[in-house]
Amino acid sequence: MKIELQISMNEALYLRNPESSELGRNILSHSVELIHKIGFEAFTFKKLAEVIGTTEAGIYRYFENKHKLLVYLTAWYWGWLEFQIRFQTNNIKDPTVRLKKVIDLLASAVEDDERTSHINEALLHQIIISEGSKAYLTKQVSEDNKQQFFKPYKDVCEVIGNIISECSPGYIYPKSLASTIIEMAHFQNFFMNNLPSLTDFGKTKQVTEIISFLNHLVFASIKKL
């Protein structure tokens, strides 16, 4: 039996639901590939339309502009990741074990998830690493936030913050520590591969080392002194 995994998206992110038609799904899958290939700055709706074999205007019927599309893709990613976290930590009693599992999920290279047909999660994970922060590092961040565009990201942060608090009820920075490990899971990966002298993993370039670093950082922080 094949189970389809549907992630419910904020309707203000699109003009027409891209999950609802062939063209829409093509926009999602090919935008992931194209952004991964040429980077978000060089990515345009015209180039995307050429790849898909449709017209620029066709893309604009689904997304207002490329910023909205990036926010859509990041929101999708965080929604998908929250599901992964809930699924993979389900039935694990010990919050410490759950927290370790979360760090694994955040930092590990993602494999393409068969349950979501059109989006390649492995490529999307790479995009989140190198382009993800651009979704909120803008002048419109507050307006976008009012429209709840970043809710999936904040939800993941909250879930992780809650596990941290479960591990260590007295720790007073659970949310900041959560956002720190989320961001660092990505930044240390980017640095390791592109600016290796900013990390201690430049020689081996192993994600497992990032995981060890993050585990040490987190468990040292929440330990009762």
| Site for DNA contains 65 (CB under 7 A) | yes
On whether the CB atoms of residues 214 and 103 are closer than 8 A, the answer is yes
Taking the CA atoms of the chain, what radius of gyration do you get in angstroms? 18
Amino acid 188 reads Q
Three-state DSSP state, 67: helix
36-65 positions binding a second copy, by CB under 8 A: 38-39, 41-42
The reply on whether position 139 binds DNA by CB under 7 A is no
Alpha helices in the chain (DSSP H): 22-38, 45-52, 56-60, 66-89, 95-107, 121-131, 141-146, 151-167, 174-194, 207-222
**58: partner contacted, choices a second copy, DNA, none (Cβ within 5-8 A by kind):** DNA
In sequence order, which residues have a C-beta less than 8 Å from that of residue 45 and are 6 or more positions away?
56, 59, 60, 63, 66
12 binds a second copy (CB under 8 A): no
Residue 114 DSSP label: T
Q: Quick one: CA dihedral 127, 132, 137, 140, positive or negative?
A: positive
Q: Is 197 in the site for a second copy (CB under 8 A)?
A: yes
Using CB under 8 A as the binding criterion, the count of chain residues that bind a second copy stands at 50
148 binding a second copy? (CB under 8 A)? no
**Using CB under 8 A, which residues numbered 165 to 184 contact a second copy?**
172-180, 183-184
| Least distance CB 28 / DNA (angstroms) | 13
Task: For the CB of residue 55, give the shortest distance to DNA in the complex, in Å.
Answer: 4
Q: Tell whether residue 45 is a contact of DNA (CB under 7 A).
A: yes
Q: Is the dihedral of CA 130, 98, 112, 204 positive or negative?
A: positive
Q: Specify the stretch interacting with DNA by CB under 7 A; choose among 19-27, 78-86, 130-138, 167-175.
A: 19-27
Q: What are the residues binding DNA (CB under 7 A)?
A: 16, 20-24, 42, 44-47, 54-58, 60-61, 64-67
Residues that bind a second copy (CB under 8 A): 38-39, 41-42, 130-131, 133-134, 136-139, 141-142, 145, 150, 153-154, 157-158, 172-180, 183-184, 187-188, 190-191, 194-195, 197-201, 210, 213, 216-217, 220-221, 223, 225
